Amino acid sequence: MTVILVALGAALGAPLRYLVDRAVQARHGSAFPWGTFAVNVAGSLMLGVLIGGAASHAVPGSLVALLGTGLCGALTTYSTFGYETVRLFEDGARRYALINAGVSVGAGLGAAFAGVALAHAIWG
C-alpha cells in the first residue's frame, strides 16, 4: 500500500513542479532559475512540516509516504538545481551560479527547519 501512496503523490508532484516552474519563470526575465528555487524551497517547507508532525505523532506514516516521499520527492528537484547551476556557470553567469548554489541550499535548509518548528508549534 505504501508504494501506491508514494506513486500517487509523485503523480501529483511531478506535473505540479513543471507547472509551478513554468509559471514562476515566466514572470521573471532573469537568467536565475526562480522556478526551481521556488519548488525546492516550498517542498522543503512542506517536508519539514510533515516530518515535524510525524515526530509529534500527529501526522500518520501513510500521509508522510503520500505527501512527503511521493509529492515532495517529485516536486523538488536536486538534479535540475544542479544542472541549472552548472549551465549558469558555463554560460558565463558565474555570479548567478554561485548565488543559486548558496541561496538554494540555505533557503531549503531554512525552510525545512521552519517547517519542523511550525509543526512543533502546532502539534508539539
Chunked mean pLDDT (size 10), the chain, 124 residues = 97 97 92 96 98 98 98 96 98 97 98 98 93
Predicted TM-score (pTM) of this structure? 0.95
In this structure, the number of other CB atoms found within 10 A of the CB of residue 30 comes to 10
* pLDDT score, position 74: 97
Q: Is 43 annotated as a binding residue?
A: no
* pLDDT score, position 124: 83
Q: Is 36 annotated as a binding residue?
A: no
* pLDDT score, position 22: 95
* pLDDT score, position 6: 98
* pLDDT score, position 29: 83
In this structure, the number of other CB atoms found within 10 A of the CB of residue 108 comes to 22
Give the CA distances from residue 91 to residues 35, 37, 79, 86, 99, in Å, rounded to whole numbers and listed in that order. 19, 19, 18, 9, 15
Q: Would you state the cell numbers that stand for residue 85, as one nine-digit string? A: 547551476
* pLDDT score, position 85: 98
